[in-house]
A and B are shown apart, each in its own frame.
Chain A
């Protein structure tokens, strides 16, 4: 079993919809959680970062962490065609220098 599981999609939704992207993990030592966005033929870039259970909001994006269920989510409100990308979750335990990534979910927003 992989330490981090992420549905690869692809996921297609109409413009303006709310998107929910999810990852589950098995390693209870993970304490820091990130979401990276990767456009086609580009390198990933950090989108959101959180370290506590609960919600963190940044504009149209909300990152949610439930450590008791080992489950993290990224919500995108009022989705735009420019949000079309692959979204990768990543996590790391305290003091560790190596991130563990999910496989990524490919998202397409249909105009």
Chain B
């Protein structure tokens, strides 16, 4: 039981390049989330998916797209990376009926630098 896994762990991009951050969970959870964490800003929600086939915007969705490929996997895509997207990205999942109040399990993070 690996919990929530994220790939890659580190990535350096040049401005304008694209990439996809991968997330998978093996806990049979319904809801999955993508956050970014920046100094002094805390965790900010980018997108979330309440169930397979559904996605919704969070607080800071601009510049990102997501795909809920199946129940296990939730990917985050940067189509044209910008230096402002330099951050640590966390994926999380939760499985209860009250998704907002149940424990969110976080992955180890992806550290992204955009030059």
Q: Do A and B come from one complex?
A: yes
Residues of A within 8 A of B (CB): 6, 8, 32, 41-46, 49, 51, 88, 92-99, 101-104
B41–A42 contact, CB under 8 A?
A: no
A92–B100 contact, CB under 8 A?
A: yes
Q: How far is the CB of A15 from chain B (nearest CB, A)?
A: 27
A43–B103 contact, CB under 8 A?
A: no
Complex interface: stretch among B67-75, B79-87, B106-114: B106-114
Within 8 Å CB of A8, what residues of B? 40
* Closest chain B residue to A44, Cβ basis: B106
Known: A43-B106, A94-B100, A101-B44. 13 other contacts (CB 8 A): A8-B40, A32-B100, A42-B109, A43-B90, A44-B43, A44-B90, A45-B106, A49-B103, A97-B31, A101-B42, A101-B43, A103-B40, A104-B42
What is the CA–CA distance of A72 and B41 in the complex, to the nearest angstrom? Answer: 19
7 A-B pairs closest in CB distance: A43-B106, A103-B42, A101-B43, A92-B100, A97-B99, A97-B100, A46-B103
* Closest chain A residue to B59, Cβ basis: A98
What is the CA–CA distance of A98 and B104 in the complex, to the nearest angstrom? Answer: 10
CB-CB contacts of B22-33 with A at 8 A, as 1s and 0s? Answer: 000000000100
* Closest chain A residue to B90, Cβ basis: A43
B40–A92 contact, CB under 8 A?
A: no
Q: How far is the CB of A80 from chain B (nearest CB, A)?
A: 23
Within 8 Å CB of B41, what residues of A? 103
Residue B101, interface by CB 8 Å: yes
Residue B76, interface by CB 8 Å: no
Within 8 Å CB of A97, what residues of B? 31, 48, 50, 99-100
A98–B48 contact, CB under 8 A?
A: yes
Q: How far is the CB of B42 from chain A (nearest CB, A)?
A: 4
What is the CA–CA distance of A46 and B93 in the complex, to the nearest angstrom? Answer: 12
In the complex with contacts A32-B101, A97-B50, A43-B4 CB distance below 8 A = yes
